[in-house]
């Protein structure tokens, strides 16, 4: 049952410019480590904790999560809400409007304890009571639907999750409730769900998506739907485009949903440009990755980059336009978008355009008299940025509270070349017991990654990569 999860991880790594070479049998030879489960957490070497007793460093203190007995949490509150609900039912009846609030509160407590079936039962009861008094599209229905999504997602009841997101879109369009900002937010959330759904479905064994890998997504705003799992991307794209259109027409330039929609469109355009990788056979990830890179280089040389590149560039140009209309836009926010546009050029092999855009960013920081320390953090951060920044990577995964403790670390140094490739890799050391296969895996991932270039003369980066599996 590990194959679907692994295959999607492989796809993400390939799309993000990171080869999933751990599928190669040579890396497993003589190793007791399941490299498919390996994740690295980078910290600047100067900030890494140094053990004083010879023990392996367990990672930064800020990442250590205390053990909490979630089942015991809220026991007193559970009893209190149960008594309140029983009293209301006895005095005011089983469909009394005041029951909605304690039922919802009790459901949240069950969610915190991981008891999602009980939570959903309570929320369903609250929904029926609220509809009895306020109708299908009452204000309370939104909060109840959002609460139900939490438990439905936890139980992986995907069809019901999507039903709730569609209900929220429908609710946002009702007379007296509708607003451009509210509808845009609901559409964006549905789009995010469809994008997540695509990621989940494409990780399954091929069910026709490979045959449609050469088909382009519909044009912006098009309702075209492909008869494959790539239809998820098309619908997500339509949701984000409509959300952006609503906010643009209402001149809501500073709404976070507007920028979130544009960034999600970038993810879709990038995936569209790498369809061959998404649908590549699992047995040949490295070959597929190199073939895609070669194809990208040929397209860049002939200026035939297709719609995804142009659409992504247009998205960045729009974001720059939004920021120009915001007098309170910060230097950091503007720099992030300028930098993202340069990254986009680089990812599609447009090196001259990327270099020009990076120089324009430096000029912008100079013209705005950005303090040297802030400019350095933007142009040459202690941790090099892996491109594209809007996709996950095994080198920048954020630790989760329910994950096991760190197994050890590897200290690493390398240069970042103007085209974003790592060079002069060197292993400085590692924690006791670190398997050689782990070090080899890290070296391979770094070599296959694309990093944001740093200014000329920048010192090599030194990183401690904590790992767990």
User: For all residues of the chain together, what is the average pLDDT?
Assistant: 80
Q: What is the pLDDT of residues 205-240, one digit of tens each?
A: 444 433 333 334 444 333 333 335 678 889 999 999
| Mean pLDDT score, 147-157 | 97
Q: Tell me, what's the pLDDT at 371?
A: 96
pLDDT confidence bin for 273, thresholds 50/70/90: confident
Q: What is the mean pLDDT of residues 150-173?
A: 96
User: Contact at 8 Å (CB) between 393 and 415?
Assistant: no
pLDDT at 329: 94
Q: Output 71 or 57, whichever has higher pLDDT.
A: 57
Retrieve residue 46's tokens.
């100067």
Least trusted range by pLDDT, from 110-124, 151-165, 213-227, 429-443:
213-227
Which band of pLDDT confidence, cut at 50, 70 and 90, is reported for residue 73? low
For residues 37 and 22, the answer to whether their CB atoms sit within 8 Å is no
Q: Can you tell me the distance from the alpha carbon of 21 to that of 294, in angstroms, rounded to the nearest whole number?
A: 18
Is residue 168 within 8 Å of 187, Cβ to Cβ?
A: no
If DSSP codes are grouped into helix, strand and coil, which group holds residue 31? coil
Which residue reads 């890396």 in tokens? 27
Band the pLDDT of 201: cuts 50, 70, 90: confident
More confidently predicted of 406 and 253? 253
pLDDT bucket at 392, cuts 50 / 70 / 90? confident
Of 170-179, 224-233, 377-386, minimum mean pLDDT range: 224-233
| Lowest-confidence region among 49-53, 61-65, 87-91, 441-445 | 49-53
The reported pLDDT for the residue numbered 77 is 78
Instruction: Give me the pLDDT at residue 305, please.
Output: 55
- CB atoms inside a 10 Å sphere around CB 376: 15
Share of the chain above pLDDT 70, in %: 73
What value does the mean pLDDT take over residues 24-45?
67
CB atoms within 10 A of CB 318: 17
Q: Return the pLDDT at 330.
A: 94
pLDDT at position 52 is 45
Residue 56 — very low, low, confident or very high, per pLDDT cuts 50/70/90? Answer: low
Looking at the predicted structure, is the pLDDT value of residue 286 above 50?
no
Q: How confident is the model at residue 289 (pLDDT cuts 50, 70, 90)?
A: very low
Lowest mean pLDDT among 78-92, 299-313, 410-424: 299-313
Instruction: Tell me the pLDDT tens digit for each residue of 349-358.
Output: 899 999 999 9
**CB 384 within 8 Å of CB 452:** yes
Tell me what pLDDT residue 78 has: 87
Give residue 274's pLDDT band: very low, low, confident or very high (50, 70, 90).
confident
- 441 pLDDT more than 70: yes
Task: Categorize the per-residue pLDDT at 104 as very low, low, confident or very high, splitting at 50, 70 and 90.
Answer: very high
| Burial (0-12, 13-18, 19+ Cβ within 10 Å), 350 | buried
Residue 456 — very low, low, confident or very high, per pLDDT cuts 50/70/90?
confident
| Residue 35 in this model has a pLDDT that exceeds 80 | no
Distances (CA, A) of 50 to 47, 59, 439, 466: 9, 9, 19, 12
Find residue 46's DSSP bridge partners: none
Q: Per-residue confidence at 455, pLDDT binned at 50, 70, 90?
A: confident
User: Strands (DSSP E) along 270-419, which ranges?
Assistant: 386-387, 408-416
Does the structure show a pLDDT above 90 at 99? yes
pLDDT at 129: 95
What pLDDT was estimated at residue 64?
56
> Mean of the pLDDT values across residues 168-183?
89
pLDDT at position 406 is: 86
């Amino acid at each position: 049952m590990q194959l679907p999860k692994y295959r999607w991880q492989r796809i993400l790594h390939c799309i993000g410019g990171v080869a999933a070479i751990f599928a190669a049998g040579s890396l497993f030879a003589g190793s007791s480590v399941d490299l498919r489960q390996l994740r690295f957490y980078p910290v600047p070497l100067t900030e890494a904790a140094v053990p004083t007793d010879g023990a392996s460093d367990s990672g930064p203190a800020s990442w250590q999560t205390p053990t909490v007995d979630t089942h015991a949490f809220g026991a007193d509150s559970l009893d209190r809400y149960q008594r309140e609900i029983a009293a209301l039912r006895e005095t005011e009846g089983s469909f009394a409007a005041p029951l909605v609030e304690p039922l919802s509160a009790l459901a949240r407590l069950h969610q915190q304890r991981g008891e999602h079936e009980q939570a959903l039962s309570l929320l369903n009861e609250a929904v029926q009571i609220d509809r009895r008094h306020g109708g299908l599209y009452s204000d309370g229905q939104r909060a109840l639907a959002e609460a139900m999504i939490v438990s439905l997602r936890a139980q992986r009841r995907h069809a019901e999750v999507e039903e709730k997101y569609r209900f929220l879109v429908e609710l946002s369009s009702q007379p007296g409730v509708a607003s451009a900002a509210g509808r845009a937010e609901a559409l964006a959330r549905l789009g995010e769900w469809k994008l997540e759904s695509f990621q989940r479905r494409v990780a399954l064994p091929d069910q026709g998506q490979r045959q449609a890998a050469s088909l382009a997504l519909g044009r912006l705003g098009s309702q075209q739907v492909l008869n494959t799992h790539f239809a998820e991307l098309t619908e997500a794209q339509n949701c984000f485009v409509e959300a952006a259109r609503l906010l643009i027409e209402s001149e809501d330039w500073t709404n976070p949903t507007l920028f979130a929609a544009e960034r999600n469109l970038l993810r879709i355009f990038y995936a569209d440009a790498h369809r061959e990788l998404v649908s590549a056979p699992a047995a040949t990830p490295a070959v597929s990755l190199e073939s895609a890179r070669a194809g990208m280089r040929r397209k860049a040389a002939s200026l035939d980059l297709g719609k995804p590149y142009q659409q992504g560039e247009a998205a960045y140009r729009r974001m720059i336009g939004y920021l120009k209309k915001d007098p309170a836009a910060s230097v950091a926010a503007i720099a992030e978008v300028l930098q993202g546009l340069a990254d986009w050029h680089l990812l599609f092999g447009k090196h001259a355009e990327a270099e020009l855009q990076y120089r324009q960013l430096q000029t912008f920081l100079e013209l705005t008299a950005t303090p040297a320390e802030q400019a350095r953090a933007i142009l040459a951060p202690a941790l090099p940025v892996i491109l594209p920044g809007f996709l996950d990577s095994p080198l920048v995964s954020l630790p989760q509270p329910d994950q096991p403790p760190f197994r050890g670390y590897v200290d690493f140094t390398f240069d970042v070349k103007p085209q974003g490739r790592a060079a002069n890799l060197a292993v400085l050391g590692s924690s006791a017991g670190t398997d050689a296969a782990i070090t080899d895996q890290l070296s391979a991932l770094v070599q296959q990654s694309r990093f944001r270039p740093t200014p000329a003369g920048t010192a090599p980066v030194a990183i401690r990569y904590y790992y767990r599996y």
